[in-house]
A and B are shown apart, each in its own frame.
Chain A
Amino acid sequence: DTGVSQNPRHKITKRGQNVTFRCDPISEHNRLYWYRQTLGQGPEFLTYFQNEAQLEKSRLLSDRFSAERPKGSFSTLEIQRTEQGDSAMYLCASWSSGELFFGEGSRLTVL
């Protein structure tokens, strides 16, 4: 059981740079979710995919954010022109049998 894998686990970048996170869900899980978690808060929904189709996006997902799941397997979350307010833990999860399985997250620090 490989679980949900996310990389990189940590990313430090300067304001204005672009960053990309990758998520490999549990195989055969069709639904994949991205959440963001800031200090002292619960995870906040960003977007989700059913296979390769992006079915819902949160208002939190500004136009600087883009997510893809081109072949219905792994997914990427790109943040362009990062801002300090983007500093957070980005969580990926896949859904099966009434349960969300989370990866360990990718922590972004924008200086």
Chain B
Amino acid sequence: AQSVTQLDSQVPVFEEAPVELRCNYSSSVSVYLFWYVQYPNQGLQLLLKYLSGSTLVKGINGFEAEFNKSQTSFHLRKPSVHISDTAEYFCAVRGLSGNTPLVFGKGTRLSVIA
């Protein structure tokens, strides 16, 4: 079984500042990793995913994440945030084998301050 820990429930940051949203996972098998974003009153949208290959993954809206197997982390970063990035961000993990469902963290609310 897999689990995800998002270390910060809320992250306030000023506009144009950099941000890092932290995610650690636990799994006894190799995993796929994902970040989803949920804007107010909208469904979840995929930001980026790590399936294999390069450990630095680039996603939409200028976000990127780095898979660190030794630290079991998949932190999300953006060098300069915009007001429109204000949303809830969810890290998720899935085991490689079979059809195991995605397991989500509790989310981090990013609030960008003008």
Contact = CB atoms under 8 A, between A and B. Distances in A.
Contacts, number: 54
Contact of A42 (B45, B46, B90): B90
Binding site secondary structure of chain B: strand
A98 to B, nearest CB: 5
A28 interface: no
A76 to B, nearest CB: 19
Contacts of A43: 44, 90, 102, 104
B44 to A, nearest CB: 4
B46 A105 contact: no
B49 A98 contact: yes
B103 A45 contact: yes
Interface residues of B, number: 23
A102 B43 contact: yes
B51 interface: yes
Contact of A91 (B34, B44, B49, B103): B44
Contacts of A98: 32, 49, 51
Contacts of B103: 45
Interface of A: 4, 31, 33, 35, 40-45, 48, 50, 55-56, 91, 93, 98-105
